[in-house]
Structure 1
Amino acid sequence: MSTVSRRSALRILAGSSVLAPAVVRAQDSFPSRPVTMIVPFPAGGPTDVTARVLADKLSGVIGHPVVVDNRAGASGNVAAQIAARATPDGYTLFFGTGGTHGANPALFKNPGYDPIKSFAPVAWATTSPNIVVVNPEFPARTLAELIALAKANPGKYNAAAPGHGSTPHMAGELFKVAAGINILHVSYRGSGPALNDVVAGHVPIMFDGVPSSLPLVQTGKLRALALTSLERLSTAPDIPTIAETIPGFEADGWFAVYAPAGTPEPVVTSLNLAVNRALPEAKARYAELGVVTVGGSPEKLAARVESEVRKWSDLVARTGLRGEN
């Protein structure tokens, strides 16, 4: 939407009784001050890394700082609740995940928000595979060897994941069902602490996001066994996919930008345009991290949320998984 058409839309809204005059004036100059982007996991993990790359480029697009605010807790539910209750003026955004807007509504009886009703979709930002990594001393050197070990020793091996209900955790649960194995998932408050324990050998296996694990694979501190995407990454062509062993397996991680429900449509439109302008500028950095930019309309993101909620609801119904507050 051009500047002229956006202002025209605002003038139409200003003449209606739907919006208070103060809100209309705020929209007309949007954005006029820094924007906060709430991130539901601690600094250093894949969610945080991915969010900060986008926040940096988005700051340049809108001409004001986009400040990352990490609010970890309850598998992302704490941050989602804070974001959902924020003033719907476009100055508080939420960097949601496949956990907060896919798995959590199925895992938690009352997560404190509704992934569809509590938020206004802005734009689907990125997608990236999850990755299965192991400590270099772990005996399995391939995914097939890991499956064989787990079948021979049911319940013996632990696998770390960054948060109960996170996309890596859910990818791990889906993998267990698909492979017919029993490994115990241990959830951590973010990727950082979990990776520390895997590197130290306290936990042998981890399901993680690519951005936080790939650098440790490249330096030899971890060994990568497989990716959860259907195809290999161009930036890491030597890492096979789970689908090469279990045909059709797919459980990627994805991130998106939301505003609180009730945010005026012209503001959502402005934010969507800004995110879609920022993503190409972040593409090269994301490629280094094994992340693919997506972009598109709010409607495209809304459809993704609906499909992910269905997917993970089916898995939860099948396995009896429950959330951990």
Structure 2
Amino acid sequence: MTSHALQTRRSILKASVALAFAPATAWMTAAHAQAYPSGPVSMMVPYPAGGPSDLSARILSGPIGDSLGARVVVENLGGATGTIAATKVLNAKADGGIFFQGTQNELILPPLTNRAVRYQPDAFESLQPITVTHLVLLVRTGLPVDSVDTFLKLAAQRDASTSLTYGTVGVGSLYHLITEYLGKTAKVPFTHVPYTGTAPVIQDLAGGQIDFSIMPFQASMLEMIKGGRFKAIAVLSRNPPAVLAQVPSITETPALANFEYASYAGYYVKKGTSAEVKQALNKAIGHALEDKTVIAKLEADGRNVSPRMSLEEAAAAYATEIAKYKEMIRVTGYVQAG
């Protein structure tokens, strides 16, 4: 056989082998692209079961899982103002096997105010904002106040040793900083009592162990208010939803006209998660947020549902929140020792 013929035969063999493996290669590439999710996905909630964060997770997990084509398992892990749960997500692989349901309370404030926290806000990437939760000022039933004005008047009559006590989900939390800022704005002393989640704060408020709390509103509070377990004397929003229409806005008090706050929840993944995984989660979450049943349940609990966003829009919204709280911390100078 001539050299030319041998080379021709080798070329034909190489081409045949390439064609034989081409379908397999294409199939393997397609399978890899479609591998996510390959099994159950964890939704990390940084508070114990029973609180408003957990309720949102329970409402959304099923529809997100249906859209994603996989079971979404809610995992509750409270403590340290949500940083224990956040750290667990960051210690996991950036493969979408676990995503985080968080707010500025866990993602932004702790790393900016506590030197012991080992992550920064940009360690997470936003998938999609989900809800705006309105905050309410709740006081124990036996406290002789029925408005913000009478509340502040009573607080002003106390000194540091006898000041009104308030509970929050943790030191350095959004609710801690807001309440401290309220005290400074009104020039009255308060004493902080930190807890590991919303449910124990409600329990001790109803039991009279603490005087008051600024908390994220949930509809289950209405029955407790009607039953005389505690009182709601203000909502920290200028235009509260219909379910809170009977509760006055704290901004109606002249000295607190600009004292307006809310909790903005969303879903996040560890930085470095692939664009394909983020896109799949963004699509599934966005689809769930357009589900009429989901919207009705979230709104019935006093939340406003966030509009569907692209990954780029979600990233921009998160960057805006980070900048907002960096400025607040710069002005207040609140930083914890490490």
1:179 corresponds to 2:186? yes
Shift of 1:278: 0.6
Write the distance in 2 (CA, Å) between the matches of 1:72 and 1:309. 23
Name the CA distance, whole Å, in 2 between partners of 1:59 and 1:215. 31
Change in 2 beyond 3 A, CA 1:314/1:92: same
How far apart, in 1, do the equivalents of 2:28 and 2:124 lie? 22
Quote the residue 1:312 is aligned against: 325
Q: Does 1:88 align with 2:94?
A: yes
Does residue 129 (structure 1) correspond to residue 134 (structure 2)? The answer is yes
Of 59, 65, 68, the residue aligned with 1:62 is 68
CA offsets, 1:99-146, max 9 Å, x none? 122211221114122211x22211011111111101121111011111
Q: 1:303 to 1:171 in 2, by over 3 A?
A: farther
Distance 1:27-1:36 versus aligned 2 partners, 3 A rule: farther
Match in the other structure for 1:301: 314
After superposition, where does 1:281-296 map in structure 2 within 5 Å? 281=291, 282-294=294-306, 295-296=308-309
Equivalent residue, structure 1, for 2:275 = 265
**Are 1:275 and 2:288 an aligned pair?**
no
In the alignment, the residues of structure 2 paired with residue 112 and residue 87 of structure 1 have an alpha-carbon distance, to the nearest angstrom, of 17
Instruction: Tell me by how many angstroms 1:84 deviates.
Output: 1.6
Cα distance in 1 between the residues matched to 2:131 and 2:303: 7
Aligned-residue offset at 1:152: 2.1
Q: Secondary structure at the match of 1:133?
A: strand
Give yes or no for the alignment of 1:77 onto 2:90: no
User: 1:293 corresponds to which letter in structure 2?
Assistant: V
Identity within the alignment, %: 28
Q: Deviations over 1:208-238 (max 9, x none)?
A: 1102644422443221011112212212200
Greater shift, 283-292 or 311-320, is seen at 311-320
Give the TM-score, by structure 2 length.
Answer: 0.83
Q: Within 5 Å, give how 1:128-207 maps onto structure 2.
A: 128-155=133-160, 156-207=163-214
| Residue 323 to residue 58, structure 1, CA distance change in 2 (3 Å) | farther
Match of 1:250 among 260, 267, 273: 260
Q: Does the C-alpha gap of structure 1 residues 45 and 166 become closer, same or farther in structure 2, counting only changes over 3 Å? A: farther
SS of 1:129's partner is strand
- Alignment partners' CA distance in 2, 1:259 and 1:278: 18
Query: Is the 1:174–1:315 contact (alpha carbons within 8 Å) kept by the matching residues of 2?
Result: no
Conservation of the 8 A alpha-carbon contact between 2:115 and 2:337? no
Q: Which segments of structure 1 move beyond 4 Å, counting only runs of 4 or more?
A: 21-26
Structure with greater Cα Rg: 2
Uncovered stretches (5+) of structure 2, i.e. residues with no partner:
1-24
Q: How many residues align?
A: 306
- Consecutive unaligned residues of structure 1, counting only runs of 5 or more, are 1-13, 16-20
Match of 2:18 in 1: none
Q: Tell me the C-alpha RMSD between the 2 structures.
A: 2.4
Q: Which amino acid aligns with 1:41?
A: Y
Change (3 A) 1:259 1:27: farther
Q: Which of 234, 244, 264 is residue 242 of structure 2 equivalent to?
A: 234
Paired residues of 2:139 and 2:205 also in contact (CA < 8 A): yes
Take 1:247 and 1:86, find their aligned partners in 2: how far apart are those partners?
44
Change in Cα spacing, 1:314 to 1:152, as seen in structure 2 (3 Å) is farther
C-alpha distance in 1, partners of 2:31/2:273?
Answer: 14
